[in-house]
């Protein structure tokens, strides 16, 4: 028992490492290649949660709080996957996506819509822009991370 207490003290003293160790302890962690994920959403708590969990899963994460900022980062940072909300200030997600698809850098970009909106019109517009998947909020975080992995695997297989 004394050794276990010592190990926990070391883990607790580790700060950032503690979160990674705890994630490994409580659930299997599939080490991802260093893929870059762009999270575009105007809900700061959701963005923070996604960023935290994706980074613990081995992804590099870039964030934006509206469609205009998201468009700039999608072009500049060249993410492997964009997680995109529909309703946002300045420029909504579907407008951002339609604009992104007009840029050479955005044509093949993998986009997963993550939104509380699931109206037929939104789904149709997203599909017309080549969205790979549409996740309706609220969602299970582990299922979203699994979906990201699947999309990246399909993309990798298509390139071969």
Under DSSP, the state recorded for 86 is S
- Domain count for the chain, please give it: 2
Q: Do 60 and 4 share a structural domain?
A: no
Task: Provide the token pair at 48.
Answer: 């923070």
Q: Do 155 and 114 share a structural domain?
A: yes
Q: Do 105 and 48 share a structural domain?
A: yes
Residue 13's pLDDT is 44
Q: Do 63 and 129 share a structural domain?
A: yes
pTM: 0.76
Q: Do 149 and 75 share a structural domain?
A: yes
Integer Cα distance of 147 and 85 in angstroms: 16
**Which pLDDT tens digit goes with each residue over 27-68?**
444 444 589 999 999 999 999 999 999 999 999 999 999 999
Under DSSP, the state recorded for 33 is P
Q: Do 97 and 50 share a structural domain?
A: yes
Strand partners, 63: 39
Residue 14's pLDDT is 45
Low-confidence ranges of the chain (pLDDT < 70): 1-33, 160
Q: Do 79 and 14 share a structural domain?
A: no
Find the domain containing 12 and state its range: 1-30
List, in order, residues 6 or more apart from 23 with CB less than 8 Å away. Answer: 29, 56
């Amino acid at each position: 028992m004394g050794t276990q207490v010592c190990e926990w003290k070391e883990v607790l003293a580790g700060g950032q490492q503690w979160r990674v160790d705890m994630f490994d302890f409580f659930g299997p962690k599939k080490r991802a290649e260093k893929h870059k994920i762009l999270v575009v959403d105007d809900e700061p708590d959701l963005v923070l949660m996604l960023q935290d969990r994706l980074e613990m899963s081995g992804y590099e994460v870039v964030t934006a709080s509206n469609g205009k900022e998201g468009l700039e980062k999608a072009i500049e940072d060249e993410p492997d996957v964009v997680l995109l909300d529909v309703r946002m200030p300045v420029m909504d997600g579907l407008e951002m996506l339609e604009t992104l698809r007009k840029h050479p850098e955005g044509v093949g970009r993998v986009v997963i819509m993550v939104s509380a909106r699931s109206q037929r019109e939104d789904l149709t517009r997203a599909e017309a822009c080549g969205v790979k998947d549409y996740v309706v909020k609220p969602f299970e975080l582990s299922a979203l991370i699994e979906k990201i992995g699947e999309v990246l695997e399909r993309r990798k297989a298509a390139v071969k």
